[in-house]
Structures are given as structure tokens and as C-alpha cells.
Amino acid sequence: MPRSKRRSTDMNSTDDDRHTSKRLRNSNGSRRFSRVEEIPSFSQKRCLAWFREYTNPDDPDMLGPDGMEKFCEDIGVEPENVVMLVLAYKMQARQMGFFTQEEWLKGLTDLQCDVIQKLQTKLEYLRSHLNDQNLFKAIYRYAFDFARDKDQRSMDIETAKAMLQLLLGKHWALYSQFSQFLDQSKYKVINKDQWCNILEFSRTICNDLSNYDVDGAWPVMLDEFVEWLKASRSKAAIS
């Protein structure tokens, strides 16, 4: 009897020890999990130090083309990816290929990003801006001033075609025809009025041009595009 009682006490003690050990393991695991999941709050100082990784000591307040290439590599995005244009829009950057310290801090403070990993988690959010019609229009209009040479009021045709491909290439069914039209046209530059109207045309005019009003207030460039496209389609139908 006594021996059996002692054995029973030992068994209870062992069970208690097991439960205590399990609770400790779970508690330690929870603490470890919390430490892994914890994300430091945004720090402007850390954000600025990140900016300095891409600048030249001779010009520490300007991130230029070389730094931009390294920055894109670090976040895993090609420089010509449209998400970089959206990021530039968030910063309200004034010149393609460059970010000033002020622009960097403005955009990344808004996004609450001060390290590579945080910005990588925001890339899909930035892309989602393109799905909002009003935001897309604002980004499209911003792109004109962002991409043009600052000593020119218009955008050269090659830059314009590249930006149109980036912004409208996948969404406007007539983009390839419009690009062909520009290739054979007399136009060497595109002004802001033409640029803005191209977007409105792409959004409102049917692919068969049935709702295009020749007496409407479209720029001459678009009147000429419609004439060219109709003629091209007629030739294709005959042949």
C-alpha cells in the first residue's frame, strides 16, 4: 500500500512536470513568434540612411541613374516596370531617373517604408493604383511632366511612345495601330493637350471608331489617326 501510494504520487508529479514543461515551451515559442513577427515602426532616420546607400558622397541629396539601378535591383523591380512610375508619382519626383532627398522622404514616409522589405510588401498596393480610374488618370497626366525634357514643353516622340506603351499598351486595343501611325507621321513631339486627349480617346472611342465625331474637339493628331486607320482598314479589306 505505501509503495503503491508513493508510486501514485510520483506519477502525478511526473504529469505535473510534463504540463509545466509544455506550458514553458509554448510560452517560449510564443515569445519567439512575437519577436519574429514584430515590425519596427517607421523611422525617418532609417529611411534617410537607406537613401544614402544610393547617393554619391559628392551629391548626397540626389539619387541619380546609377543609384536608381541599384535601388531597383535591391527591391527586385526592373527600372522600366510601371510600378516605378507609380512610386515616382507617390514621391512627386520631378525628373525621370532621379529622386531628391525631399522626394524620397515624402513618398516613403507616406508609404511608411524605411527598409527594402517594407517597400517590397507595398509593390502590389502601388500597382493597384492603376486599377482606379481617377488615380490612373492622375498618374498618366503626371507622366508627361515627369518624362519630358525639362527645357522642352513637349515630349519627344520616342519617349512618348515608350510611356504610352507602359501605360496604355496592355489596355488600349488600338495602341499598336496608334504606334504605327506615329512611326509614319510627321510628328516629332507630343504636347500636353495631345497627351491628355490620347487617354480620353482610348477610354471613350470604340475600336470600330463608330462613335468618333469628326466635328468634335479632338486634336488634329487624333483626326489624322482616325483617317489613317480607316484608310488602312479599307486597304486590308480590299486585299
**What is the mean pLDDT of the segment spanning 137-164?**
95
Residues 188 and 230 placed together within one structural domain of the fold: yes
Residues 149 and 226 placed together within one structural domain of the fold: yes
pLDDT tens-digit map of 18-42: 554 545 455 454 444 444 456 789 9
What DSSP string runs through 206-219? Answer: -TT-TT--TTSS--
The grid coordinates listed for 58 are 559628392
pLDDT tens-digit map of 44-65: 999 999 999 999 999 999 999 9
Q: What whole-number percentage of the chain has pLDDT above 90?
A: 78
Could you tell me if residue 23 is inside a domain? no
pLDDT of 32 reads 45
Structural domain of residue 119, as residue ranges?
Answer: 44-131
Residues 54 and 95 placed together within one structural domain of the fold: yes
pLDDT of 237 reads 86
* Residue of 18 and 165 predicted with greater confidence: 165
Q: CA nearest 159: which of 168, 169, 149?
A: 149
Residues 153 and 121 placed together within one structural domain of the fold: no
- Check whether 122 has a pLDDT greater than 90: yes
- Check whether 161 has a pLDDT greater than 60: yes
Domain count, the chain: 2
Residues 150 and 189 placed together within one structural domain of the fold: yes
CATH number at residue 90: 1.10.238.10
Cα three-residue angle 76-172-93, rounded to 5 degrees = 45
Distance of CA 53 to the CA centre of its chain: 21
